[in-house]
Structure 1
Amino acid sequence: MRSLSFLQRLVVLVVLGSFGASLWWQRDVTLSLVMVATQIGFLILAAFRIVLVIVSRQRSDAPVEDSHPLPVYTILAALHDEADIVPQLIRRLAAIDYPQDRLQGMLLIEAHDTPTLTAAESAPRPDWLEVVIVPPGDPMTKPRALNHDLRLSTGDLLTVYDAEDHPDPGQLREAAARFSDSPDSRLACLQAPLRISAPHETSRDSAFLHRQFAVEYASLFEVTLPGLARLGMPFPLGGTSNHFRIDVLRAAGGWDPFNVTEDADLGFRLWRQGWHLGIMTRPTHEVPPNALKDWLPQRTRWLKGFMQTWGVHTRTLSGLGFAGLVALTVTIGGTLASAGLHALAVSWLLATVMISLLAGLPPIPPAFAVSVMILGTAAAWLSGQIGARRAGVPYSANDMIMSPIYWSLMSLAFAHAVWRLVVEPFTWDKTPHRPDPVTFDVHCVHAGRQVV
């Protein structure tokens, strides 16, 4: 999305104009109504989150075995400034349990990225995995590289992995079996769960971010997405380990090269074209950003991409339907609203209590507002606890108490994302990666065989 449509501009102008006029005539009433409407919105969001927790407990997606001839599978991995981690990725891709004569793999490397290209070409690779140079072009983003090699793909099915990924070796077989055996002829994509492991504990702040990040992923991939899938609703795809029918992907136009969360956009675009999404059980393991200096740019990119996705899919509601609109609002809209307002809400609550104490008054903030905050926090904790148990990641009482600090950091990333959307809308903030210990590979292979 390069700009707002005429209708979007009109809506923005009408809303801002009405809000400004209301403030001029009835400021107190207007602010009260806005606060109540916002609180009701978050109350509905919290209630829906609890519904997803309940629905997602119906674990009907047990691993299945392939019962038909296996299709040709294409694996794409877009790499940029990944010279240190390329050998590790190649080892992990080579360990995938799938007939080699039915595999096509491509490591996509930008033409100017000589270190990564040298590392990829010098590392031992299976015959089916080739190095492909992506020609210069704009924007320099992961989806542009993927689109370049979508034209070269010869498989029936296609999946995307990131440089730091460690996919379960049986993931391709499960996806192929699901596509083959699914009674839903409109099934276009399957999302594997992403699970965060943290083999590097380098500092106190890193450990805090690692644990919170792991629970955030667990809540999303073990609760929210399964719940939406079982309700027959669309969802934003993860940036990796999504498995596509390649003919459908081509017909949909591939990935949006200008969207920095191209996966979120593509999930809703497939839905609008009449296709359905599903989930898998065999996971892909990843490591989290190492510290705040790495976490903040990554989260900024995600929120900026969510803003782009929201803008694109609200230009017209045609094709979304009620289910699509609810899913878009809950996942994309809800994430943006929560990130933008959480720190403000916490600051408001603390300021209310402190001012009351300093004035010698009992600290009694508005009951309804506090009730909404409590319910929202409880719903997030419940989703995180259930997801963490399924993913096998720790989530202690201390982690729960500290989580509002993590959520408040989202507001910092949100403010940064708004600024970046204005000045650098298509710039891709690259997250640095480093090789994992050998013991991490062993742990992930073992963990990937568990059914939780």
Structure 2
Amino acid sequence: MAVLLKPDVPNWRARPVFAHGRLRLDETLAAIAERRSDNISGALHLQGDRRALAAPSRKGLPEELLARFSARSCLTLGYMPWARIGKTIIIALARPGDIGAIRRELPDWDGKYAFATAPPDEIRTAVAQAFSDRLAQAAETRCPAFLSCRNWRVSRRSVLALALVLISTLALAPFALLAALLVWITAMNFLTMALRAVGLRESFRRIPEEVSPGANVTTLFQHRTLPRVSLLVPLLGEDVVLRNLVSALEKTSYPHERLDVKLVIEADDRATILALAQIDLPDWMTVLPVPPSALRTKPRAMNYALDFCDGEIVGVYDAEDRPEPDQLLKVVEALHSGPPDLACVQGYLDFYNTHTNWLSRCFAIEYAVWFRVLLGGVQRLGLPIPLGGTTVFFRRALLQEVGGWDAHNVTEDADLGMRLARFGYRTEMVPTVTMEEANCHPMAWIRQRSRWLKGYAITWATHMREPGVLLRDLGVSGFLGLQVLFLGGLTSYLATPLFWLLWTATFGLDLALWQALPAPLWIAFFSSMIIGQMLMLAVAFRATSAPERRHLWPVVLTLTLYWPLGAVAAYRAVLELFTRPFYWAKTRHGL
């Protein structure tokens, strides 16, 4: 039963939760009283101190009238045009304290507005139903067009022209083409080596990972000012791991009444829907269906869910994640004590199935290298951090300011890291670990890696549309860092067959080949490849030096056999750039 408030209710001023250290009555009751509509309605009526009248059931508004309202505003402020009675439109709202702000958002109307309180969940459901198409479209175009890859188009004519140029160059000037390739590969290798060297040095200076939440969080908790945290968990065909996911999230030490977990599913994902129906979810977890679309990506789903979040902090987890219980406390402390331009914190990722097979162990080494060594070099050099797809947490207001995620980018996380940097915001690592499932099947690994490399290539091309503007936004170091981070890995993988081919030619003593190009170029090329591999091994040993990872040391020496898989994935990624740029190769979990 909703509570109708008189149309002449004065403007109420909402009190910021985090700034003043007090919880709003309606938020506390909604969380602790299990969101029972009778309790909430009554409490809200008492808070507003107005007489209650019976509210009519919603009959819906004509489309032409509904079109005047902003779906995003309805979700942000928690209201919904509920019904029309003559010249009066009834506005259902969750918090009477927001009436003033809501009035400023309402469209011009030659009649009157009246207000009724209703449970927040009921309002959100009504908004989702009434504005389904509009919200779905907004999720696909949330990222500004000039920073999105959605306009990526490659015509057949362009492909044929590029192929013709390459074939002609190969036929008419093969050694010139080879020289250009060697110069490019050598330059990228030396830049990548520099990053590895800095990361290796920084790894001996860093603070140990085992850090407990400090005094700031304890003080916040005592004064009941912990901010509300929204967690987005995109799900697609994840029926196998759902119970483990819910169990892992229930173990968090963060107060559950301050959590807002959105299990984001595709509306036509029957397997996940049936699995969720068999699980008794806690009241702070909500299942949010995303309307179907031809575009079926994780960032689109998260963009859709972002407007339904009510937390000051928004985090992302994957379906198979097992975060540390005190992780959210560490995140809150990092964001609370950080400067205003700190928009995001990223946790470390590790794997719980490293003993499965050789591939899972190699994957674990690769992640250890990235999170425990290379990212230290990235931070030390002040370069923008390509985010991971999970265990990332944002100040919600800043995430919305930069346009959320690019719904068309299959590495939306890395792209968002660059976009935050271009807007002048920073990302920092937070000392907490989330355990994941390593991809341990060769074909599944190749599909996943090709998606990552394809996304890296598209991200690079998107941000390089206007190199001068990018240089201005990131500075010289950030500009060079983007080249290394996004083209370095792709170049290394694509160059692997050439390296082995030239290495074979060394034993064949093809003197014509060696004499066609300057000796210093050959020396620089092979030095960059060999020294680069040696440095990579040193970094890998350092990354796995912790006692719990030393069992991976014997596998480090076999990484040379691991890189060819990346080469296969890289060439597949290049092919998909021209054929299926927005295709999301789904990684199955729980196998």
Per the normalisation by structure 2, the TM-score is 0.66
In structure 1, which of residues 251, 255, 258 is the aligned counterpart of residue 401 of structure 2? 251
Give yes or no for contact 1:343–1:409 (8 Å, CA) kept in 2: no
Superposed displacement of residue 398, structure 1: 4.1
> Is 1:192–2:359 an aligned residue pair?
no
Local SS of the residue matching 2:390: coil
> Is 1:316–2:470 an aligned residue pair?
no
Q: How does 1:334-413 map to 2 (within 5 A)?
A: 334-353=488-507, 355-356=508-509, 366-390=522-546, 392-394=548-550, 398-413=554-569
Q: Distance in 2 between matches of 1:391 and 1:246?
A: 37
Give yes or no for contact 1:195–1:214 (8 Å, CA) kept in 2: yes
Q: Aligned AA for 1:298? A: Q
Q: Distance in 1 between matches of 2:491 and 2:535?
A: 16
In structure 2, which of residues 411, 425, 429 is the aligned counterpart of residue 279 of structure 1? 429
Render the CA deviation track for 1:115-145: whole Å, top value 9, x for unaligned: 2112123212222111111111231111111
Check 1:314–1:395 CA distance in 2 against 1; reply closer, same or farther (3 A cut). farther
Q: Distance in 2 between matches of 1:4 and 1:292?
A: 29
Structure 1 range deviating more: 25-34 or 309-318: 25-34
Structure 1 range deviating more: 375-384 or 98-107: 375-384
Partner of 1:361: none
Give yes or no for contact 1:215–1:395 (8 Å, CA) kept in 2: no
In structure 1, which of residues 225, 232, 236 is the aligned counterpart of residue 382 of structure 2? 232
Check 1:333–1:29 CA distance in 2 against 1; reply closer, same or farther (3 A cut). closer
Q: Aligned AA for 2:345? A: L
Q: Aligned AA for 1:419? A: L
Q: Aligned AA for 1:198? A: N
Higher normalized contact order (CA 8 Å, seq sep 6+, divided by chain length): 1
Q: Aligned AA for 1:168? A: E
Q: Distance in 2 between matches of 1:345 and 1:236?
A: 27
Check 1:83–1:30 CA distance in 2 against 1; reply closer, same or farther (3 A cut). closer
Superposed displacement of residue 20, structure 1: 8.6
Larger radius of gyration: 2
Partner of 1:329: 483
Local SS of the residue matching 2:545: helix
> Is 1:40–2:194 an aligned residue pair?
no
Give yes or no for contact 1:197–1:214 (8 Å, CA) kept in 2: no
Q: Aligned AA for 2:493? A: A
Superposed displacement of residue 192, structure 1: 0.3
Give yes or no for contact 2:387–2:417 (8 Å, CA) kept in 1: yes
Render the CA deviation track for 1:64-83: whole Å, top value 9, x for unaligned: 42143311100110000011
Structure 1: runs of 5+ lacking an equivalent: 202-206, 358-363, 436-452
Local SS of the residue matching 2:294: coil
Q: Aligned AA for 1:228? A: V
Partner of 1:447: none
Q: Distance in 2 between matches of 1:61 and 1:174?
A: 14
Give yes or no for contact 2:541–2:553 (8 Å, CA) kept in 1: no
Check 1:27–1:100 CA distance in 2 against 1; reply closer, same or farther (3 A cut). closer
Q: Distance in 2 between matches of 1:55 and 1:167?
A: 25
Check 1:391–1:97 CA distance in 2 against 1; reply closer, same or farther (3 A cut). farther
Q: Distance in 1 between matches of 2:298 and 2:581?
A: 15
Structure 1 range deviating more: 190-199 or 19-28: 19-28
Partner of 2:267: 111
> Is 1:79–2:230 an aligned residue pair?
no
Local SS of the residue matching 1:389: coil
Q: Distance in 2 between matches of 1:368 and 1:229?
A: 28
Local SS of the residue matching 2:314: strand
Structure 1 range deviating more: 385-394 or 243-252: 385-394
Give yes or no for contact 1:252–1:269 (8 Å, CA) kept in 2: yes
Structure 1 range deviating more: 26-35 or 111-120: 26-35
Q: Distance in 1 between matches of 2:302 and 2:431?
A: 25
Q: Distance in 2 between matches of 1:312 and 1:390?
A: 38
Give yes or no for contact 1:261–1:305 (8 Å, CA) kept in 2: yes
Q: How does 1:429-448 map to 2 (within 5 A)?
A: 429-434=585-590
Partner of 1:173: 329
Q: Aligned AA for 1:44? A: L
Q: Distance in 2 between matches of 1:315 and 1:341?
A: 25
Q: Aligned AA for 2:464? A: T
Check 1:400–1:349 CA distance in 2 against 1; reply closer, same or farther (3 A cut). farther
Q: Distance in 2 between matches of 1:4 and 1:147?
A: 20
> Is 1:269–2:388 an aligned residue pair?
no
Local SS of the residue matching 1:288: coil
Q: Distance in 1 between matches of 2:259 and 2:408?
A: 29
Superposed displacement of residue 235, structure 1: 1.4
Q: Aligned AA for 2:302? A: L
Check 1:268–1:391 CA distance in 2 against 1; reply closer, same or farther (3 A cut). farther
Give yes or no for contact 1:5–1:315 (8 Å, CA) kept in 2: no
Q: Distance in 2 between matches of 1:5 and 1:274?
A: 29
Check 1:25–1:76 CA distance in 2 against 1; reply closer, same or farther (3 A cut). closer
Give yes or no for contact 1:235–1:328 (8 Å, CA) kept in 2: no
Check 1:100–1:29 CA distance in 2 against 1; reply closer, same or farther (3 A cut). closer
Superposed displacement of residue 34, structure 1: 4.0
Q: Aligned AA for 1:421? A: L
Q: Aligned AA for 2:350? A: R
Local SS of the residue matching 1:432: coil
Instruction: Kindly tell me the number of residue pairs found equivalent between the two proteins.
Output: 418
